[in-house]
Amino acid sequence: MVYNDMVYHSSFVNEETFTKACGCPLLPLKSHIKGPAPIAEQDGTDIVDEAISFFRANVFFRNFDIKSSADKLLIYLTFYINVALKRLEGCRTLAGGTKAIINLGLEDVPVPGETGFPFGGLFARPFSKQEAELLRNYLKQIREEASGRLLSVAYRPNGTPNKWWMAFAKRKFMNVIVPNS
């Protein structure tokens, strides 16, 4: 039995204040990575913080009751963290994990309507090439930011894997199989 009311939802529910691309809110990030995301307050919580802090609870759910468009981004990030952990699974050192994450970051970032986008219907297809590129650049930026922060929790300060995070590489979020590479 799945209890949807136990899923953690994003606190970014005031959707009118955010620019959107394909129905995805371009939420502010605490990031120095170049991209289209607005800059968030460094001492606040952003969507990447939420995705990482909620990941180990949300990854167990096969269904996710979407309450805002920010929840759609949270779903996307949860899946991405799952993919990243799968890539880190065999990396026994922080250096190896960093290389794996950099390689993941170099891969193409599909947008809705393209092969490889994990959740058809989660976001609308782009109306134009400009909208597609805006979303692609935002997703690339947010993935890169999530990757860096994930490394800091997936590995201990001494550079060894944190088994309490790596164990989640075996989970399937919303029954979506993470491709091996």
Per residue in 127-140, pLDDT (tens digit) is 999 999 999 999 99
Per residue in 23-72, pLDDT (tens digit) is 999 999 998 889 999 998 888 889 999 999 988 887 777 777 788 888 88
Q: Report domain extents, the chain.
A: 4-171
171 has a pLDDT exceeding 80: no
| pLDDT tier, 9 (very low <50, low <70, confident <90, very high otherwise) | low
| pLDDT tier, 8 (very low <50, low <70, confident <90, very high otherwise) | low
pLDDT of residue 176: 55
Token readout for 105 is 């970051």
Give 106's contacts (C-beta < 8 A, 6+ positions apart).
Answer: none
Token readout for 84 is 């990243």
pLDDT of residue 2: 42
Q: Which of 1-10, 45-54, 84-93 has the lowest mean pLDDT?
A: 1-10
Per residue in 149-161, pLDDT (tens digit) is 999 999 999 999 9
Per residue in 19-34, pLDDT (tens digit) is 999 999 999 999 888 9
Q: Which of these, 127, 142, 151, 111, lies nearest to 38 by C-alpha position? A: 142
Amino acid at the residue 87? R
pLDDT of residue 60: 74
DSSP H helical segments within the chain, as ranges? Answer: 47-58, 69-88, 94-106, 129-154, 163-166
Per residue in 98-108, pLDDT (tens digit) is 999 998 988 89
Fold for 4-171, please state it: Arp2/3 complex 21 kDa subunit ARPC3 (1.10.1760)
CA distance 123 to 32: 26
pLDDT of residue 172: 63
pLDDT of residue 44: 86
State if pTM tops 0.85. yes
CA distance 124 to 163: 37
